[in-house]
Amino acid sequence: MPGSLPASYVATWPKDVGIIAMEVYIPSQYVDQAELEEFDGVGAGKYTVGLGQARMGFCSDREDINSLCLTVVQRLMERNCLSYNSVGRLEVGTETIIDKSKSVKTVLMQLFEESGNTDVEGIDTTNACYGGTAALFNAVNWVESSSWDGRYALVVAGDIAVYATGSARPTGGAGAVAMLVGPNAPLAFERGLRGTHMQHAYDFYKPDMVSEYPVVDGKLSIQCYLSALDRCYSVYRNKIQAQWQREGLERRFCLNDFGFMVFHSPYCKLVQKSLARLLLNDFLSHPNPNLESGPYSGLEAFRDVKVEDTYFDRNVEKAFMKASSEMFEQKTKASLLISNQNGNMYTPSVYGCLASVLAQHTPQQLVSQRIGVFSYGSGFAATLYSIRVTQDATPGSMLDKLVSSLSDLQVQLDTRKKVPPAVFAENMKLREETHHLANYIPQGSVDDLYPGTWYLTCVDDKHRRYYARCSLDEHGPPQAGPINCVTTSEHIPSPVKKMPRIPATTATPETIVLSNGDH
């Protein structure tokens, strides 16, 4: 049982700690960005071409950060037929704050009640869009530490990204991603290979506690993002080259050493520019680049530029976007599926990009690949790290199960309801006017929500929030009632054995009413 680790076990690293399973939740309605351009009276292509966005998902007042996280956690547990007793750490990364004291994690603990498992470490982690990554690192570190008791860690990244009327509004979005962390994972974190940069800046922040809207300095935010990318890539590259040198391998690391490269995506066009920037970094750091052929051909005019002077240099940007276009198609374009179709989810953004890659490739195409991950949160905090995909892509393998579980991602995106921009604007106005009200009953329709979605039923006079879950029967009405938690033959994983494989069976729970206050 947990807590009885023998000394010989403590002395060894758990093998291949990383992501075992993932679940993505996307709101059931969206606004078309081309229609939003016309509604906002801006030039055609400003959002669709300039930002690279096609659709933007959003939530009515029926959903908040608690309901998003309840939905994605229960979906992950059900889809993988996991017992709540098998989780020993649960941490939430979010910047969508609805209580200055009580964590979203404590609300999620209501899902654990019937199992009797209250021995679950972790709380909420916050720093803009970086919170999900910090929570994920904490989970990985927990499994690799003397605190680990042999159970899974569960990480949830969730946010509702909304902006006041104006140029930033089309860069919104909403959603949540849940990730199961443990050893013997199909997506293993490469130990020691993280490049981090943290610095103080007011590029994007939320000082007004009574508003959902941030204060944004758009130009500064882009500069901070790109400068953090430069610094993180430089640190990562130095670390992996030092690791290779210790192993007797003398070679330079470059962008081609990543099979895939995913980024935090405020909007898709910035991601394309970011990949080009990594190529710029490779070019400037190379002692003798080939200027006659290959990706660097024709770039000799930029040999002496200083990287810190190029954040807004259109000539450099255009030249390296062209030079990296083939790499973008191969390594990064697939990652932008959710970002293009749903918008910026804040903390889940980069993990939505990771899920997009997995959903659009076969296990055989992913096997043994190194995936680079760049996570950025304003204020600002950033890390570039890498994941190594397992070598086992056989049917029924952990990688096969992970990829199969995400295969319906395109279907989720395609089955959403499109609403007119005027209705979207009305929803934003309603959220603005009712944010943090007490004695409030949400006005949004429950009928538009997906089956199995948690939603807000009311906020009482003490600001306590109550929730119910839509019926799993898509033809049935939302219901409230006792929960039938996932039950399997699985026991609490023993710390002296391998982490148990995820069962292939599924369970069908019913519904329950939850609150975030007293029961």
Assess contact for 60 and 78: CB atoms under 8 A.
Answer: no
Cα–Cα dist 281/286, whole Å: 8
Q: Are 21 and 502 in contact (CB under 8 A)?
A: yes
Q: Check if the beta carbon of residue 262 is closer than 8 Å to that of residue 350.
A: yes
| Whole-number Å distance between alpha carbons of 205 and 213 | 9
> Two tokens at 395?
């049917």
Residue 510 annotated to the active site: no
Residue 191 corresponds to which amino acid?
R
Show the tokens assigned to 56.
Answer: 């933007």
DSSP secondary structure string for all residues of 161-180:
E---SSTTGGG-EEEEEEEE
Nearest to 23 by CA among 59, 91, 77, 65: 77
55 vs 160: CA distance, rounded Å: 15
- Nearest-angstrom CA–CA distance, 138 and 127: 14
Instruction: Please indicate whether residue 95 is annotated as part of the active site.
Output: yes
Give the separation between CA 328 and CA 280, rounded to whole angstroms: 14
Residues that constitute the known binding site? 221, 269, 273
- Return binding residues for CoA: 221, 269, 273
Q: Which of 91, 95, 232, 470 is catalytic?
A: 95
Sheet with 187-198: strands ordered across = 124-125, 87-93, 152-161, 173-182, 18-25, 187-198, 381-389, 370-377, 260-263
Residue 327 neighbours by CB distance under 10 Å: 19
Tokens of 435: 């944010």
From 59, 69, 129, 232, the catalytic residue: 129
264 is catalytic: yes
Query: The dihedral of CA 433, 437, 441, 442: what is its sign?
Result: positive
Pick the catalytic residue from 63, 224, 264, 470. 264
- What's the DSSP call for residue 454? E
What is the Cα–Cα distance from 283 to 292, expressed in whole angstroms?
13
Query: Catalytic residue positions?
Result: 95, 129, 264
